[in-house]
Structure 1
Amino acid sequence: MRLPSWISQHLAALRALLVFTVLLGLAYPLLLVAAGRLPGLSGRADGSLLHVNGTVVGSRLIGQSFTDADGNPDPRYFQSRPSAAGDGYDPTATSASNLGPESVVDTLSGNPGDASPSLLTQVCARSLAVGRLEGVDGSRPYCTADGVGAVLAVFHRDGFAGPVTRVVSVNQTSTPFLAGYAGVTVEPAKIGEDYQALGGVITPIRGTAPAHPAVPADAVTAGASGLDPHISPQYAALQIPRIARERALTEDRVRTLIKQHTDDRALGLLGEPAVNTLELNLALDRT
């Protein structure tokens, strides 16, 4: 007896469902688990965890902060790059700031919870903080001396042209970083004012900072995932004098440890060399 076509179609679909469930829902996952148990791969499959005296202290794939009880950078350890994941290196909140190079104007508010610094101001503040920690010049182009974006809203008589009639330092509500611009006194910003909407031309001011800042870029910018476990060799080198002083080591010894924990370019040509911060700090503790 021949079954109706609609029943035959449903039976064929059921058979396909069962076959693919076995193949993709059972066989394929079990194959991957078995591959992860192979020698040389099992550690990576388990998360590349690092242990000290039998206790898990982190993963070589996920960055972490090295701070004291008050949340300040611990001077005995190499510092990681900034993180935008939660309160910093939170694996449950991995994310980036989603701010780009045009983010130069802060959102000002009398309530700190409602204020929002631009990417430029974040970079400026971080650079000053790293400079103080490492004892170097933390100044950067387009940053004020107090660590905010050096940005003006310039008003012209004819819109975008003509004589300057008004100038506002959009990221400062107190004394502006410039007294005057184009012969016009610079005003501090007022909370709640959108000077660009009012016709001001947003104008970053480069200032006198060196073209190549002492603080490298990865020390002041967060990674896309917020969990980057590496820093650049340049940022690691900047921290050598502090680490050597705090650990009573020679700078050459610290430099050797950095070299031992620097990962080369992938396949010898992709990316840049990078230093695994957690592994380096664990090596310091062993030293």
Structure 2
Amino acid sequence: MNRLPGPLRRLLAALRALLVLTLVTGVVYPLAVTGLARLLPGRADGSLVQRDGRTVGSALVGQSFTDAAGHPVRTYFQSRPSAAGDGYDPLATGASNLGPEDVVDVLPAPGEKGRTSLLTQVCARSRAAGELEGVSGARPYCTPDGVGAVLKVFPAVGVPVRAVSVNQVCPATPFLAAYRGVKVECARPGEDYAAGRTVPVRGSVTRAEVPADAVTASGSGLDPHISVAYAEVQAPRVAKERGLPLRRVEELIRRHTTGRSLGFMGEPVVNVLELNLALDRPRG
């Protein structure tokens, strides 16, 4: 070996290092980690949840509780929205990447595709959740018909001469009759309002009854939990639909509430799948 040229010796040393590291990091380490994980029941296989011999979901990945038409099943607690693919798709995990300044919809012109702003998504979800739970779905910066309460004012600088409720399509009645003495118009698809000044209108709502996690998706789009507040809003509906005492449903919420991580990080949360399975479990 010592008689080999220097460059060849270095090449052989590099190959040996490659083979050893490949064996350690590509074979030994994955097998060791998988073996250790299997000592924790269910964790190595995605924390799958079994019911009557079949897999009904994962304790770590959220899912929808809707019927074939996409409507919420009223006997179950509903999960928070998801922006991962068509919803809770582990292969498309992620957020919508829409921020708080995304408040103006792109109204679809004939033959074209529009785009719904984050604000209108929140307003529509809040209205739908309010109707489902029998509470007010109103929230700041939302119109009564469930879109973003946003005006485009012309000119952008100076005394207004025109105001348009850009998220309310004609012939809808604008949520505001007038803005600074100027009559508010409904929006017409295909018309360009980019030159106007964007004016979000807070309205008179000071407190939203529908919690924030009922109208916004998580960063991963896979969150299996909801807040305790959202669970409590849903409890009266679930109890009524199942013919159960409300206190019984509230007790199940408490049993399936996880406290703050390490006692101080985050907020208490409720695992929706486990709670719904507990509702289906016969009382002994």
Q: Quick check: TM above 0.5?
A: yes
1:262 pairs, out of 257, 268, 273, with 257
- AA matched with 2:61: I
2:181 pairs, out of 183, 194, 217, with 183
Structure 2 residue aligned with 1:29: 30
1:236 pairs with 2:231: yes
Alpha-carbon distance, 1:179 to partner: 1.6
Structure 1 residue aligned with 2:168: 172
CA–CA distance in structure 2, aligned partners of residues 27 and 125 of structure 1 = 51
Name structure 1 gaps, 5 residues minimum.
none
SS state of the match for residue 265, structure 2? coil
CA separation of 1:111 and 1:86: change in aligned 2, threshold 3 A = farther
Structure 2 residue aligned with 1:123: 122
CA–CA distance in structure 2, aligned partners of residues 94 and 51 of structure 1 = 23
CA–CA distance in structure 2, aligned partners of residues 252 and 228 of structure 1 = 26
| CA deviation vs aligned residue, 1:12-34 (integer Å, no higher than 9, x gap) | 11111121122112211121122
Structure 1 residue aligned with 2:244: 249
How many residues align? The count is 279
CA separation of 1:46 and 1:113: change in aligned 2, threshold 3 A = farther
| CA deviation vs aligned residue, 1:166-202 (integer Å, no higher than 9, x gap) | 1111112223211211001112222233323x2x110
Runs of 4+ in 1 over 6 A off after TM superposition: none
Structure 2 residue aligned with 1:6: 7
Structure 1 residue aligned with 2:147: 148
CA–CA distance in structure 1, aligned partners of residues 238 and 34 of structure 2 = 41
SS state of the match for residue 168, structure 2? coil
TM-score scaled to structure 1, two decimals? 0.93
SS state of the match for residue 280, structure 1? helix
Residues 1-287 of structure 1: matches in 2 within 5 Å?
2-38=3-39, 41-110=40-109, 114-156=113-155, 159-160=156-157, 162-174=158-170, 175-196=173-194, 198=195, 200-209=196-205, 211-287=206-282
| CA root-mean-square deviation | 1.4
CA–CA distance in structure 2, aligned partners of residues 80 and 101 of structure 1 = 22
CA–CA distance in structure 2, aligned partners of residues 183 and 58 of structure 1 = 56
TM-score scaled to structure 2, two decimals? 0.94
SS state of the match for residue 33, structure 2? helix
CA–CA distance in structure 2, aligned partners of residues 242 and 13 of structure 1 = 66
Alpha-carbon distance, 1:112 to partner: 8.5
- AA matched with 1:227: L
Alpha-carbon distance, 1:113 to partner: 6.9
CA–CA distance in structure 2, aligned partners of residues 105 and 194 of structure 1 = 12
| CA deviation vs aligned residue, 1:106-148 (integer Å, no higher than 9, x gap) | 0100458711110000000000000000001111111111000
CA–CA distance in structure 2, aligned partners of residues 20 and 149 of structure 1 = 56
Name structure 2 gaps, 5 residues minimum.
none
SS state of the match for residue 253, structure 1? helix
Alpha-carbon distance, 1:96 to partner: 1.2
